[in-house]
């Protein structure tokens, strides 16, 4: 298997496991990733996901160009015909939080995977880039849409039009990642963040993520109205009552997602 997945205490750790190829995805790993994207929502044991790469060189270096062949069907068939799509992020639509622990190069589709997560932390030696213009292509898994929303138009355009890489400190400065640390601390910190999220009320966590994601398409006034509506939905949930009881009784809450 090119994707190793473990689940413990509500936290799934998915490791791209092709270290000899800098965890670049070939057709097999792409298919495994798409299967995992679907599993995230279907598996009730998963509350939070950590994505990382094997080894200490790369999170994911994008598509393995040595194994990337033309698709067997036309783009029109993929877009409008029956069957599945080969889009890298197909099926990755979840309210469960995703954390990227970026342990090295995150290039091309590797950076696009990271951009699709909610929290990104990086090792000090990590490098980031969307280099597709250098090989006569464009970012095809959401890069042109997600990167400007994360780092702003000017920085995104500079990265994509030049194809140049930026280092971890530059990524931190522009908001591409939220924390930078030595590699030895990376997975410990990722698990620490994931555990803190998994300990919270799952309905609240998922509602927050959905509201934040929807906010990009809404005016502030409409977003505030939607936020108030969702607050009302959660007001009488069993978990909200449990949270208050646990606080009063000075004990950890026992959330059930109800």
User: Is 139 inside any structural domain?
Assistant: yes
In the set 28, 32, 42, 132, the catalytic residue is 132
pLDDT of residue 172 exceeding 90: yes
User: Is 257 inside any structural domain?
Assistant: no
User: Is 89 inside any structural domain?
Assistant: yes
User: Is 130 inside any structural domain?
Assistant: yes
**Residue 63: what pLDDT?**
85
**Residue 240: what pLDDT?**
84
User: Is 258 inside any structural domain?
Assistant: no
Q: What percent of the chain has pLDDT over 70?
A: 92
The CATH number that applies at residue 188 is 3.90.226.10
**Residue 258: what pLDDT?**
81
Residues 90 and 159 in one domain: yes
Collapsing DSSP to helix, strand or coil, 199 comes out as coil
Residues 42 and 23 in one domain: yes
User: Is 37 inside any structural domain?
Assistant: yes
CA 201 to chain centre: 20
pLDDT tens, position by position, 13-56: 999 999 999 999 999 999 999 999 999 999 999 999 999 999 99
Residues 194 and 207 in one domain: no
User: Is 155 inside any structural domain?
Assistant: yes
Domain count, the chain: 2
**Residue 72: what pLDDT?**
53
**Residue 167: what pLDDT?**
97
Kindly provide the b/e burial profile for residues 105-122, where b requires at least 16 CB atoms within 10 angstroms of the residue's own CB. bbbbbbbbbbbbbbbbbb
| Both structure tokens of 50 | 């950590």
The CATH number that applies at residue 224 is 1.10.12
More confident residue, 85 or 203: 203
Residues 219 and 158 in one domain: no
Q: Does the annotation count 28 as an active-site position?
A: no
Residues 71 and 98 in one domain: yes
Tally the C-alpha atoms within 13 A of residue 43's C-alpha that lie toward its C-beta.
Answer: 19
Residues 149 and 216 in one domain: no
**Residue 255: what pLDDT?**
85
Residues 62 and 130 in one domain: yes
Domain of residue 231 covers 202-249
Q: 9 and 49 in contact (C-beta within 8 Å)?
A: no
Question: What is the C-alpha R_g of the chain?
Answer: 19
User: Is 256 inside any structural domain?
Assistant: no
Confidence of residue 130 (pLDDT cuts 50, 70, 90): very high
Confidence of residue 165 (pLDDT cuts 50, 70, 90): very high
Query: Could you tell me the pTM of the whole model?
Result: 0.88
Residues 159 and 229 in one domain: no
**Residue 248: what pLDDT?**
81
| Both structure tokens of 56 | 């200490």
pLDDT of residue 73 exceeding 60: no
**Residue 204: what pLDDT?**
94
pLDDT of residue 66 exceeding 80: no
Residues 188 and 75 in one domain: yes
pLDDT tens, position by position, 48-63: 999 999 999 999 998 8
In the set 28, 32, 112, 238, the catalytic residue is 112
* Of 17-26, 164-173, 195-204, 231-240, the least confident: 231-240
Q: Does the annotation count 112 as an active-site position?
A: yes
As a whole number, mean pLDDT of residues 126-142 equals 93
Residues 74 and 158 in one domain: yes
Q: 173 and 116 in contact (C-beta within 8 Å)?
A: no
Residues 207 and 159 in one domain: no
Provide the strand spans (E) within the chain.
3-8, 11-16, 48-53, 58-60, 98-102, 105-107, 119-123, 127-129, 166-167, 179-181
More confident residue, 233 or 116: 116
Residues 143 and 222 in one domain: no
**Residue 83: what pLDDT?**
53
**Residue 120: what pLDDT?**
98
Kindly provide the b/e burial profile for residues 200-221, where b requires at least 16 CB atoms within 10 angstroms of the residue's own CB. bbbbbbbbbbebeeeeeeeeee
- Share the mean pLDDT of the chain: 90
């Amino acid at each position: 298997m090119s994707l190793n997945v473990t689940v413990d205490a509500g936290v799934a750790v998915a490791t791209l496991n092709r270290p000899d190829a800098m965890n670049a995805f070939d057709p097999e790993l792409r298919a495994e990733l798409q299967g995992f994207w679907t599993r995230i929502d279907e598996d009730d044991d998963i509350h939070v996901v950590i994505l990382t790469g094997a080894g200490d060189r790369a999170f994911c270096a994008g598509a393995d160009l040595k194994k990337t062949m033309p698709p067997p069907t036309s783009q029109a068939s993929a877009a409008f015909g029956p069957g599945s799509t080969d889009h890298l992020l197909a099926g990755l639509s979840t309210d469960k939080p995703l954390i990227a622990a970026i342990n090295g190069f995150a290039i091309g589709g590797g950076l696009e995977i990271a951009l699709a997560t909610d929290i990104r932390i990086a090792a000090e030696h990590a490098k980031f880039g969307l280099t597709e213009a250098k090989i006569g292509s464009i970012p095809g898994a959401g890069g042109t849409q997600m990167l400007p929303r994360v780092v702003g138009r000017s920085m995104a355009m500079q990265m994509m039009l030049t194809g140049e890489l930026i280092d971890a400190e530059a990524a931190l400065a522009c908001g591409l990642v939220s924390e930078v640390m030595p590699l030895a601390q990376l997975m410990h910190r990722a698990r620490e963040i994931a555990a803190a999220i998994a300990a919270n009320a799952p309905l609240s966590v998922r509602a927050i993520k959905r509201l934040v994601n929807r906010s990009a398409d809404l005016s502030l006034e409409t977003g505030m109205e939607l936020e108030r509506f969702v607050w009302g939905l959660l007001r009488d949930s069993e978990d909200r009552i449990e949270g208050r009881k646990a606080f009063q009784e000075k004990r950890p809450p026992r959330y059930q997602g109800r």
